[in-house]
Amino acid sequence: MTAAVPSFGVISGAQVRAVLAGQEKKITDLVESTYRLHGTGGTVNPPSYFLQFPDRPTARIIALPASLGGESAVDGLKWISSFPENVKRGIPRASAVLILNDPETGYPMACLESSVISAVRTAASAALAADWLTRERGRPTRIGFVGTGLIARYIHTYLLGTGWSFGDVGVHDLAAEHAEGFRGYLQEADGSARVTVHRDAEELIRSSDLVVFATVAAAPHVTEQDWFAHNPLVLHVSLRDLAPEILLGSTNILDDVEHCLKANTSPHLVEQLVGNRDFVNGTLFDVMNGSVAIPADRPVVFSPFGLGVLDLAVGKHVLDEVGRSGELTVIDDFHSELRRYG
């Protein structure tokens, strides 16, 4: 019997944004269900692969292969670049595509612009973690952002879109113009919040009960445990901002242990320093299924490496929605050599 070869569609960034706009609660629920599937063995999520360049040491391109089981089964690969020097050129640091493969035949069936998908799954993961990690501690109303790029903006959008509200919002960025630009976005997005641009990270951390790190830091730059004496929740999205000493004095929740303890992330530096993983309290899935409790007497740090299966889940949702709308651009004869003997 001959299997049907899927058509191949292309989905632009504008289409991705249109599908995902205003869907913060739905996408966060989708991310939660994907974490649960991952936690019960319903996914394949091998290590990410880093392409690095001797002549461009700050740049990299990362391949995230993955396979998602369940009702919306799909295989695929996210190919995402991080070129920090782009910011000086007036264009975003990151760009990405997502390839989705048919799980029955293995044929690629879609290519999606994926910088927004990547930002959305990261933001939904952060909002989901913030919800679960504060259920016993109470929701913070003072939030601070260290780093003010696209990811910070999406995390703020997803927190607001899933029912959070903040009386005070702090901002710190090494580039003053970026901090001011983010202040303008915040004032437009949530006019009721008091927005403060802080001169340094210490000032911001001490005045925030929820701290979001969304930087491009390659090595720890926050080293003082005393800054966290008020036991905030820290969404350590950029993974390399915190010195090992801070993590050793905190409750540490990861999205996936094996993924986080690689590539000189802050958790990986802790493992190298102490020679074990005892500092890891568990994963977000462990928190969701009740096997890990979150104490109130120490800082809580959520360190998400970012799982390719989340990109697949969001990407498959976008593909399905664009397909249902009848607006999918199909490349005719993309798969053209389909007869074994011609």
Q: What is the pLDDT of residue 2?
A: 60
For residues 151 and 110, state if they share a domain: no
Evaluate whether 151 touches 123 at the Cβ level (below 8 Å): yes
Domain assignment present for residue 141? The answer is: yes
Q: What is the pLDDT of residue 84?
A: 87
Question: What pTM, to 2 d.p., does this model score?
Answer: 0.94
CATH number for the domain harbouring residue 134: 3.40.50.720
Place of tokens 């999406």: 154
For residues 104 and 174, state if they share a domain: no
For residues 165 and 81, state if they share a domain: no
For residues 189 and 313, state if they share a domain: no
pLDDT along the chain (342 residues), means of 10: 84 98 98 97 94 94 96 96 89 93 96 97 98 94 96 97 97 95 94 94 98 95 98 98 98 96 96 98 98 95 96 98 97 86 76
Rounded to the nearest 5°, which phi and psi values hold at 33?
-65, -30
Question: Cα separation of 38 and 48, whole Å?
Answer: 16
For residues 179 and 34, state if they share a domain: no
Domain tally, the chain: 2
Domain assignment present for residue 2? The answer is: no
The SS3 of residue 318 is helix
For residues 59 and 132, state if they share a domain: no
Q: Which domain holds residue 21?
A: 9-117+308-330
CATH number for the domain harbouring residue 72: 3.30.1780.10
| Closest alpha carbon to 158 in 118, 126, 188 | 126
Question: Cα separation of 229 and 298, whole Å?
Answer: 8
Domain assignment present for residue 338? The answer is: no
For residues 149 and 260, state if they share a domain: yes
Q: What is the pLDDT of residue 88?
A: 85
Q: What is the pLDDT of residue 281?
A: 98
Q: What is the pLDDT of residue 92?
A: 87
Q: What is the pLDDT of residue 301?
A: 98
Q: What is the pLDDT of residue 1?
A: 52
For residues 248 and 163, state if they share a domain: yes
Question: Cα separation of 304 and 125, whole Å?
Answer: 8
For residues 177 and 276, state if they share a domain: yes
- Nearest 5°: the CA angle 11, 15, 16 is 85
Question: Cα separation of 342 and 325, whole Å?
Answer: 36
Question: Cα separation of 338 and 331, whole Å?
Answer: 15
